Amino acid sequence: MSKEKKETSIKEAEVEIIEPEVSNDNKEDEQSSEVERLKAEIAEWEDKFLRTHASFENSKRLLAKDKATAVAYANESFASDILTVIDSLDSALSMINVDENSDNEFMKKMKEGLTLVDEQLHKVLEKHHIKQIDCAKGYDPNLHQAVMQVDSSEHNSGDIVQVLQKGYTIKDRVLRPAMVSTAK
């Protein structure tokens, strides 16, 4: 043999790598455990996705509800402020004591005009879902605020005797409770 061939065959012999023999069962076990691990990871990611999606949908629903509530009650502050004007108008109407037989034509017209303004104002409020609390139905702590108790032989205990200040609701919320006196 030539010198070159001899060196090549020695190098080839040195380069030969001996791989350890791995049984097919061991390979299959490794593959199946890898498959199981990947399946578990997929299930975990699916669960995370579903939870995140559900959380997102809940947030979206709550934001839509909050927006609807904000729009529905946007004029609540204004309505609350206008109640003092209504109280003043009601007070002015109650101060004008003019009967049908009175000769004072100016006072009759003044009371008639103020009554019309009061009616228009209440119509506008009702148009915007602001309604006066009915005190004839009886005392309700959710709608009425008992300011004082009085002795009354005409009323049962806990009944409303007198309305001191009218109360109002806006849609299903109490804008201002009615201030009332109740029987002892």
**CATH for 110:** 2.30.22.10
- Beta strands 160-165 and 130-132, pairing class: unpaired
113-127, pLDDT tens digit by residue? 999 999 999 999 999
Cα angle for residues 140, 170, 158 (degrees, 5° grid): 10
Confidence of residue 24 (pLDDT cuts 50, 70, 90): low
Q: How many CB atoms lie within 10 A of CB 169?
A: 18
Give, in order, the Cα–Cα distances in Å from 97 to each of 93, 94, 104: 8, 7, 11
138: left (phi > 0), else alpha (psi -120 to 50), else beta?
A: left
Output DSSP code: residue 166.
Answer: -
For residue 70 the two structure tokens come to: 């904000």
Q: Is the pLDDT of residue 21 over 70?
A: no
Q: Evaluate whether residue 83 is within a structural domain.
A: yes
pLDDT band at 105, cuts 50/70/90?
A: confident
| Predicted confidence (pLDDT) at residue 13 exceeds the cutoff of 70 | no
pLDDT at res. 1: 53
pLDDT in tens, 35-94: 999 999 999 999 999 999 999 999 999 999 999 888 877 888 888 889 999 999 988 888
pLDDT number for residue 123: 94
pLDDT bracket for residue 108 (50, 70, 90): confident
129-155 per-position pLDDT tens digit: 899 998 888 888 999 999 998 888 888
Compute the distance between CA of residue 166 and CA of residue 86 in angstroms, rounded to an integer: 10
Token pair 């809940």 is found at: 58
Instruction: Report whether pLDDT(14) > 70.
Output: no
- φ/ψ of 42, rounded to 5, equals -65, -45
What is the per-residue pLDDT for 11?
52
Enclosing domain of residue 137: 73-183
**pLDDT, tens digit, 9 for 90 and up, residues 161-177:** 889 999 999 988 899 99
8 Å CB contact between 176 and 168: yes
- The answer to whether residue 143 sits within a structural domain is yes
Tally of domains in the chain? 1
Whether 167 maps to a domain, the answer reads yes
Banded pLDDT at 3 (limits 50, 70, 90): low
Q: Is 61 inside any structural domain?
A: no
Please report whether residue 68 resides in a domain: no
47 assigned to some structural domain: no
Q: Provide the whole-model pTM.
A: 0.62
User: For residue 22, is pLDDT > 60?
Assistant: no
Helices (H), the chain: 3-15, 24-72, 76-95, 105-127
d(CA 161, CA 138): 9
